[in-house]
Chain A
Amino acid sequence: MAMTDDGSGVGSLRPRGARARRRVSVVGVLGEILITAGVFVLLFLGWQLWLQDILVGGVQQGQAQKLGQAWQNDAIPQKQPTNVAPIVAPIVEKAPANAQRFAILYVPRWGKTWQRPIAQGVGVADVLDAIGVGHYPGTQMPGQVGNFAIAAHRHAYGGGFEYLHQLHVGDSVYVGTKDGWYQYTFRDIQYVQPTEVNVLQPVPMQPGVTPTDRIITMTTCNPFFSTAERMIAYGLFDRFYPEAGGPPDAIAAAVKKG
C-alpha cells in the first residue's frame, strides 16, 4: 500500500534476476566507490586550481573594501577635487604589529575595483594565506624614502599577484592607508632566484646605497603553478593624495564610501 506505481517498485515487469544480481555485485560497489573517489579528486583539483582563487579573492576584496570604507567614514569630509589638490609630502606611519592590516593595495590594471588588504609581515600561514598581501618587515613604509616591499601568492589562497606580469609600464599602483593614497608608477619587472634578498634593499639590488627615491617592490612566485623563481615588480612613487581630498579618480570606484 505504501508502494505506489512509480515504475520501479514490485509491479515492474523487468526480469528480477538481472536486478538482483546487479544489486549485490561487490565489484560493482567497488567500482562506484572508485568513481566517487575519482570525482572527489577532480573536484578538489578544480577547486584548488580555479575556484579557490575566485572565492578567497572575493573575500579578500570584501575585507579591503570594508577597511577602506571604515577609514573613509572616520575622516572629516572635505569637498576638494583631487586633480587640483596641492602636492603635499606623504605621511609616513610607523610599522604596525605583525599580521595587522594597515593598508590596501589598489591596482586598476587588474580591475576598476580590484583591492587587497596589506598586513605587516610575510608569514605564510598568518599573513599570506590568511590575509593576502604582506609587507616585508624592515622595509620602508608607504611614502617613505626607500623601498616599500610587499609579497603575495601568485596562485592559491586568493592569488593576489596572479596578474603581476600583466602590468604595463606607466600603470599606476595605489596604496591606501588611513592617511590617504600613495600613487606609484610601475616601471619594470625582474626575475630572480628565491634567495635574492637584495630586491628588498632600500635601493633594490644595491646594498649599502643611501636611497633618495620612494620605491614600491611587489614580489610573487614565478612561473605560474611553480615556486622555482620570484617575479619582482618595481614602481616609483608619484604623489600622495591626503585622505581629506578624497581618493584619486582612478580608484574612486574601488574606494567609494559605504
Chain B
Amino acid sequence: MYGALWRVLPGPWWLRLLILLVVIAGILWLCVYVIFPYIQPYVSPPPPETVSTNKS
C-alpha cells in the first residue's frame, strides 16, 4: 500500500517526501479539528459532570 503510494508519487525522492509530509500534516489537521471531535462522544460519552439534582 505505502510502497505503491511511494512509486506513484512523481519527482525525485525529496519531492516525494515533501508531498508526503504535506499530506500527513493535512490528515493530522483533519483528525484533530474534524474527525476526533466528531467521534469523541461515541468513544467516550461525557458523563454528567455536575452534581446531579434530586429529581433526575
> What is A's interface to B at a CB cutoff of 8 Å?
4, 6-8, 22-23, 28-29, 32-33, 40, 43-44, 47-48, 51-52, 55, 122, 124, 128-129, 134, 136, 151-154, 156-157, 192, 194-197, 199-200, 219-221, 227, 230
Contact = CB atoms under 8 A, between A and B. Distances in A.
B49 A151 contact: yes
Given A122-B49, A151-B50, 9 more contacts: A6-B13, A32-B1, A129-B46, A134-B50, A136-B50, A152-B49, A197-B53, A221-B49, A227-B47
B18 interface: no
Given A32-B2, A192-B51, A230-B51, A124 B36 contact: no
Contact of B32 (A29, A47, A129, A134): A47
Chain B interface category by residue count: 20 to 34
Contact of B13 (A7, A48, A136, A195): A7
B1 A33 contact: yes
Nearest to A41: B43
Contact of B51 (A23, A32, A124, A196): A196
Nearest to B5: A32
23 contacts: A4-B12, A7-B13, A28-B1, A29-B1, A32-B1, A32-B2, A43-B36, A47-B31, A48-B36, A48-B43, A48-B44, A122-B49, A124-B48, A134-B50, A136-B50, A151-B50, A151-B51, A153-B49, A154-B49, A156-B40, A196-B51, A220-B49, A227-B49
Contact of A197 (B1, B36, B46, B52): B52
Given A6-B13, A8-B7, A51-B32, A44 B43 contact: yes
B51 A195 contact: yes
B52 A52 contact: no
Given A7-B13, A44-B43, A129-B46, A199 B51 contact: yes
A140 B46 CA distance: 27
Most central of A122, A136, A219 by chain B CB within 10 Å:
A122
B32 A128 contact: no
A48 B28 contact: no
A32 B1 CA distance: 7
Contacts of A227: 47-49
Contacts of B3: 22-23
A157 B51 CA distance: 18
A2 to B, nearest CB: 9
A44 to B, nearest CB: 6
Contact of B49 (A6, A7, A32, A128): A128
A9 to B, nearest CB: 9
B1 A44 contact: no
A23 B2 CA distance: 10
Contact of A43 (B11, B31, B52): B31
